[in-house]
Structure 1
Amino acid sequence: MYKQIDNGLEHKFMRLGEDIKVTDGFDIEGYASVFGRTDQGGDMVQAGAYKRSLADMMAKGRSVKMLWQHDPAQPIGIWDEVREDARGLYVKGRLLKDVEKGREAAALIEAGAIDGLSIGYRTVRAQKLRDQKDGKAARLLSELELWEVSLVTFPMLPGARLVTEEKGGDPFDAETMMRELADALTGARKQLARI
């Protein structure tokens, strides 16, 4: 579900779940947003939605912030890499060992108590889609101004997760990636057919 915030920022919550990857307790990576999937608020992010925002940040020497539960007073780490790929918005970073909340976040992730990522953004361009079967209006988000990616308790989109390493297997094997891509394309086709 998205939430409008007084300062104009919206938030999207994503599940970390089995895709969380924490190395040495503090290095994390995963997907903060997955393209072509409708979240619980009825929104779908279109591929390329973050492109301009990420380019502008890079040109200005700024970075996407890593926060705890969207609290701007609680930065807990650094996102070293934030980029779009075919699947969605990929993030890779590190929780800060010298920040109390960073140490707590690492422990909570490792214990399975925290399983969500959420983006803080402003909508630049969106298109309202026809009402869904459940009566909720849907938006196709085509351009977003990304501000931050937070670790959160309650996610909105099940597909946005940190990456986990399975023993004896690659979490991004070709079959899994093709299945997820096919699901995303099917979801996008359904949304576009409603326009």
Structure 2
Amino acid sequence: MTDEALKIEGYASLFWTRDLNDDVTAAGAFAESLAAGAPVTMLHQHDEAEPIGVWDEVVEDAKGLFVRGRILRATPRGRLVAALVEAGALDGLSIGFRQVKARTQGRLRVLSRVELWEVSIVTFPMLPDARLKISSGSA
């Protein structure tokens, strides 16, 4: 087993895509939060007690919220999550946030501004297409 961090990347949110909770994130929803420079924590299953790595890049692009980071093997949880990701058993991403501005459109809640707190690696993402992959690029 290597102690080297596992580099990962993916989309934690996709703009204008309905999730399983009937939320839709508008393009630009994360811009103010990201510009403020507050750190975005990497967690496993939204468990704030055990951060598992660092997000080196968290940016909005035309598609959604793109993240690139490293799962650190310095902790038991980090080693476990890295092993599960490498085995293909864990590949979901999910955001933890506070709604700042939203509107209701029928059954949908359209999030136009959120304060992003964390991006978790999860078993079942609320947005089914929010997935990570092992990164071949530099983090």
- The answer to whether 1:158 aligns with 2:134 is no
Given residue 145 of structure 1, which amino acid in structure 2 is its aligned partner?
E
What's the % identity of the aligned pairs? 57
Higher strand share: 2
Structure number with larger C-alpha Rg: 1
Given residue 150 of structure 1, which amino acid in structure 2 is its aligned partner?
S
- The answer to whether 1:123 aligns with 2:99 is yes
Given residue 122 of structure 1, which amino acid in structure 2 is its aligned partner?
R
* Among 91, 112, 115, the residue aligned to 1:142: 112
Backbone CA RMSD of aligned residues: 1.5
* Among 64, 76, 96, the residue aligned to 1:100: 76
CA deviations on 1:98-128 (whole Å, 9 max, x unpaired) are 1111111111112222121110000000110
Q: Is the 8 A contact 1:25 1:107 kept in 2?
A: no
Structure 1 residue 162: Cα displacement: 1.1
| 5+ long unaligned stretches in structure 2 | none
The whole-number CA distance in structure 1 between the counterparts of 2:133 and 2:85 is 12
Q: Is the 8 A contact 2:5 2:73 kept in 1?
A: no
Given residue 50 of structure 2, which amino acid in structure 1 is its aligned partner?
Q
Structure 1 residue 164: Cα displacement: 5.8
Structure 1 residue 138: Cα displacement: 1.0
Higher helix share: 1
Given residue 98 of structure 1, which amino acid in structure 2 is its aligned partner?
A
CA deviations on 1:141-167 (whole Å, 9 max, x unpaired) are 1000000001111111122111368xx
Given residue 95 of structure 1, which amino acid in structure 2 is its aligned partner?
I
* Among 34, 52, 55, the residue aligned to 2:35: 55
- The answer to whether 1:85 aligns with 2:61 is yes
Structure 1 residue 25: Cα displacement: 6.5
Instruction: Give the secondary structure class of the aligned counterpart of 2:57.
Output: strand
State the TM-score, normalized to the length of structure 2.
Answer: 0.89
Partner residue of 1:189? Answer: none
State the TM-score, normalized to the length of structure 1.
Answer: 0.65
Q: Is the 8 A contact 1:117 1:151 kept in 2?
A: yes
| 5+ long unaligned stretches in structure 1 | 1-23, 131-136, 166-195
